[in-house]
Amino acid sequence: MSTDHSRRKVATAYEPTAVYPAADLAPIPTEGTRVVGYREYAGMLVPIIEAHPEPVMYQPRDLTPRPVIDPRAQVIAASGIFAAGTGWGVAQVLSSLAAVGSGALMWLAIAIVAAKVTGGSRGSTTNTTTVHNHNKWFGRSNTSA
């Protein structure tokens, strides 16, 4: 378990002009980086800095406007709605024709019965009645025929 102490630097007085080899200097983590561990390198403990994976470049999406409902489904739905509307319209026309036909038949029957009851070409008598109503004060009225 002997270690090589000859490669380690011994702390000495401050020497501003001293030049140390780059291999002996440990990288200093910058602000915003995170140290996740240490490993031994060249007789010193070197920090292991968290490395983020490379960002994945996704293929851009197609942003052209798309219809909300499938065009084929729109055609099928429109044909069904048209058929339903046409069927309803035809039913309305046929029911009105049936009403006109039955109504005309009813009025014809009423006219025949009325002709039979009144006697057709017989003369008629007209009676006219005239009524005179005289209103007076305090709700009094006189009526004469």
Which helix (DSSP H) or strand (DSSP E) does residue 143 occupy?
A: strand 141-144
| Antiparallel, parallel or unpaired: β 141-144 and 44-49 | unpaired
What is the C-alpha separation between 45 and 65, in angstroms, rounded?
58
Question: CB under 8 Å to 27, separation ≥6 — which residues?
Answer: 46, 47, 49
pLDDT tens across 9-64, in order? Answer: 555 666 777 766 665 555 666 777 788 888 888 888 888 888 878 888 899 998 88
The CA angle 83-86-89, to the nearest 5 degrees, is 150
Instruction: Read off the tokens for 31.
Output: 């602000």
pLDDT tens across 105-144, in order? Answer: 888 889 999 888 876 556 678 889 998 888 888 888 888 7
